[in-house]
Amino acid sequence: MQARQRTREIAEQLGFDAQDQARLATAVSEIARNAFQYAKGGTVEFCVEGEPQAFLIRIQDQGEGIPHLTDVLAGSYTSSTGMELGILGARRLMDLFEIESLTGQGTTVVMGKTLLKRTPTFTDLQLQQIRETVIGRSPQNPYEEIQRQNQELLRAMAELRKREEELTQLNRELQDTNRGVIALYAELDEKASSLQQANELKTRFLSNMSHEFRTPLNSILSLSRMLLAQIDGDLTTEQEKQVTFIQKAASGLSELVNDLLDLAKVEAGKIEVRPNSFEVSDLFATLRGMLRPLLVQGSSVALIVEEPDGIPPLYTDEGKVAQILRNFVSNALKFTERGEVRVSAIQIGQTVIFSVSDTGIGIALADQKRIFEDFVQIESSLQKQVKGTGLGLPLSRKLAELLGGSIAVKSEPGQGSTFSASIPINYPYSSEFPTIAQPIASLESTRLPILAVEDHPETLFVYEKHFQESIYQLITARTLSQARQALQQFRPTAIVLDIMLEGENGWTFLREIKGDETTRTIPVLVITIVDNEKQALALGADGFIIKPVDRLLLLNKLNTLVNQNKPQKLLLIDDDPAYRYFVKQLLVKTPLRILEAANGQEGLALAQSEQPSAIILDLEMPETNGFEVLKQLKNNSVTQSIPVIIYSSAQLDAEAQRRLAEQSTAIVSKETGSQTAAFAQLQNALVKAGLVLDV
């Protein structure tokens, strides 16, 4: 009891509040009681030390020690005496708690609480004064201490009861709120369902009424043209003016109806995409003739259609791409008073970016999202002069999305705008996607066949591009049935497998391959969009990559699986010792054993005897030059399948480059500016040649 009193008094002097005083006193009381009960006595020492300062209490006894102390501290020891409850309870109340107990030597407990941050640091003099103050006080009556302890307990119980009542009230409020939210959600769901039904009815009605809307409008336009052409006789000036008004009104209404019906058809899923192969240059040539009439005669606006450069043929719906560009150009011409409207296209990866830029009035940042909403037209000085439906841009965005692409805009008021449409080179949802992969019947003897089991045509197209000019030949299978048939016809060097095949289980096929004696040794590289590497490896996969896959990473992974840690020899044929040294320094950190040949004949002999993994060949050498060496390598059955990398500073014409490209894996120039660029080019060529490098 005295230890409890002293602890409370010192804690009060040190600035602890009533709750912390009670926690300290209770913890000391419990440990002191243990010392008195089990060791028949002990000592209690108080001190303040540390940075920040902490109030520490050290309680020591000379008893028999505490058996099973580890279990006691873990809370897993059960004792009839209840000993472990006091220790665990005291530890929970303290910031610091350490206990040491030795059998037959006693127990020492050090515990403490950090002083409050608002409390100033105590000096030695102040602590001495606190010591004298506490020692000078006469011990408190034990009954008064018990009474005070009971008061603390009552206060704690009252506080707990108050918190319990507050929690009960809070739960009631939450229940009421939840009921209100549930009712609100139910009402919102009902309204959303009604709106959805109304929207679907509207869309279905419009998409089905295409013929009924367009037929009478076309009739009005045709008849008005006939009247204005005066086929059946002259019109008076007033009649001609009236018919002209009719024709303009019908044209405006026809434009609105066409946009509205096209938009409704897209929303209803009734617009068909008819992909076909076409050149961007041909599309632009058609647009030039189609768009020039939009220019007002004598206009100060120039319409420039740039000639596309190096863009491969597109396989998508040409009509819809043209419709998107027509909408862009039409808008640009409407809101450009002077300057130019420029149409261009560039290739980025497997996407072509079509852009229409103008020098017009521009669009404020706050309005750049609104222009893609139906019927929205931004107020401007030119808006009253030009008429529009407000549906062209929303329709263009939906058409681009229908083709697997997207639309973006960059604009500054007074500076002009650039609208761009990103369209995949190959329509991604086509079941008749044209692939340039070779049929199984045309396996090349000098390339290693890779069976790709993949149902996404655009991914197969990417694989084909990745394997171009490499030692690998791509054989495709879009279904597991096709894959099984392919395995009956030939043995691939490796299999690239997508697990997420539509309607089929790629895991089953992986088990089949690894469970069959005839195919289990074929390396399988799983490439998929889901990170399930552990499952793939557990089922026997030899490698795993998450889509999208980088070319260098894919080739290097396949090289690793195919080579299976075989020694890699690289033959360097070059008469210039400086260049041989330079290449060896570039590749010094690679796991390659480099063989050197100072001339063509020596290189041919080493290629015959060593059969290296790849050859780096210079073209300009005395006596037997690189062209002759390459020819003899390819005519020799022993060396014809060794990949050759041309590494030369020779200036090659188009015909020479073509012939070399047919017989070599890569052509790398010695005239590269930096060592980093030279290594990157050489690394890329070596990986294409089938060597394993640290990519």
Tens of pLDDT, residues 349-374: 889 999 999 998 888 887 777 677 75
The angle, 0 to 180 degrees and rounded to 10, between the axes of the packed helices 506-515 and 480-489 is 20
375 pLDDT higher than 70: no
Please tell us whether the domain made up of 278-424 is placed in CATH 1.10.357.10: no
Q: Report, at the CATH architecture level, how domain 440-562 is classified.
A: 3-Layer(aba) Sandwich (3.40)
> What is the per-residue DSSP string for 291-351?
HGGGSPTT-SEEEEEPPP-SPPPEEE-HHHHHHHHHHHHHHHHHT-SSEEEEEEEEEETTE
414 Cα distance to chain centroid = 36
Confidence of residue 423 (pLDDT cuts 50, 70, 90): very high
| pLDDT given for residue 620 in this prediction | 85
Task: Characterize the bridge pairing of strands 106-114 and 644-648.
Answer: unpaired
In the chain, what is the straight-line distance between the N-terminal and C-terminal CA atoms, in Å? 73
pLDDT of residue 434: 45
Query: Taking 90 as the threshold, does the pLDDT of residue 346 lie above it?
Result: yes
pTM: 0.39
Q: What's the CA gap between 385 and 444, in Å, rounded?
A: 65
At residue 160 the predicted structure's pLDDT band, cuts being 50, 70 and 90, is confident
Tell me the per-residue pLDDT of 548-594, one tens digit each, with 9 for 90 and over: 788 888 998 998 898 877 888 999 999 888 888 888 888 888 888 89
Residue 594: which of 620, 567, 576, 623 has the closest Cα? 567
- CATH T-level fold of 569-688: Rossmann fold (3.40.50)
Average pLDDT, integer, range 535-560: 88
Contact 320, 402 (CB under 8 A): yes
* Predicted confidence band of residue 437 (pLDDT cuts 50, 70, 90): very low
pLDDT for 492: 93
- Most confident residue range from 104-118, 211-225, 456-470: 104-118
Separation between Cα atoms, residue 671 and residue 271, nearest integer Å: 53
Report d(CA 449, CA 445) in Å as an integer.
Answer: 9
Q: What is the pLDDT of residue 213?
A: 60
Most confident of 295-304, 523-532, 664-673: 523-532
- Taking residues 217-243, report their average pLDDT: 75
Secondary structure in 3-state letters for 518-558: CCCCCCEEEEECCCCHHHHHHCCCCEEEECCCCHHHHHHHH
For residue range 616-663, list pLDDT tens digits in order: 998 888 888 888 999 899 888 888 889 898 888 777 777 778 888 878
What HEC string does 20-63 produce? Answer: HHHHHHHHHHHHHHHHHHHHCCCEEEEEEECCCCEEEEEEECCC
pLDDT in tens, 475-487: 998 888 889 888 9
Cis status of the peptide bond prior to 312, with omega within 30 of 0:
no
> Would you state the pLDDT for residue 653?
76
When pLDDT is averaged across residues 427-451 and rounded to a whole number, the result is: 66
Calculate the CA 253 to chain-centre distance: 45
Distance, in Å, from the CA atom of 580 to the CA atom of 51, rounded to the nearest integer, reads: 65
Q: What is the average pLDDT across 306-313?
A: 87
Q: Give, for 202, the enclosing helix (H) or strand (E).
A: helix 142-208
User: Tokens 């609105």 map to which residue?
Assistant: 256
Helix (H/G/I), strand (E/B), else coil: 611:
coil
The per-residue pLDDT for 519 is: 92
- pLDDT score for 140: 58
Per-residue pLDDT, 564: 78
> For position 81, what pLDDT does the model report?
58
Q: Which residue shows structure tokens 């500054």?
A: 412
Q: Which range, 16-30, 278-292, 426-440, 481-495, is most confident?
A: 481-495
Lowest mean pLDDT among 86-95, 219-228, 277-286, 656-665: 219-228
Q: Cis peptide leading into 413, omega within 30 of 0?
A: no
Percentage with pLDDT > 70 across the chain: 82
Binned at pLDDT 50, 70 and 90, residue 438 comes out as very low
Burial track 298-308 (b if 16+ CB lie within 10 A, e otherwise): eeebebebeeb
Domain 2-140 carries which CATH code? 3.30.565.10
- Compute the distance between CA of residue 162 and CA of residue 168 in angstroms, rounded to an integer: 10
Mean pLDDT taken over the chain: 81
- Predicted pLDDT at 23: 85
Q: pLDDT value at position 41? A: 87
What is the spatial distance between Cα 127 and Cα 131, in angstroms, rounded to a whole number?
6
CB 490 within 8 A of CB 440: yes
- Distance CA(418)–CA(355), nearest Å, equals 7
Which of 545, 346, 353, 344 is CA-nearest to residue 462?
Answer: 545
Q: How far, in Å, CA of 627 to CA of 614, rounded? A: 17
Let me know: does 96 contact 111? Beta carbons within 8 Å: yes
- What would the mean pLDDT of 74-103 be, rounded to a whole number? 78
Partners of residue 348 on adjacent β-strands: 351
pLDDT, average across residues 212-225: 67
Q: Mean per-residue pLDDT for 683-691?
A: 85
| pLDDT score of 90 more than 80 | yes
Task: Output the pLDDT for position 433.
Answer: 47
Residue 215 CA to residue 259 CA, distance in Å, equals 15
Packing angle of the helix pair 142-208, 18-39 (nearest 10 deg): 120
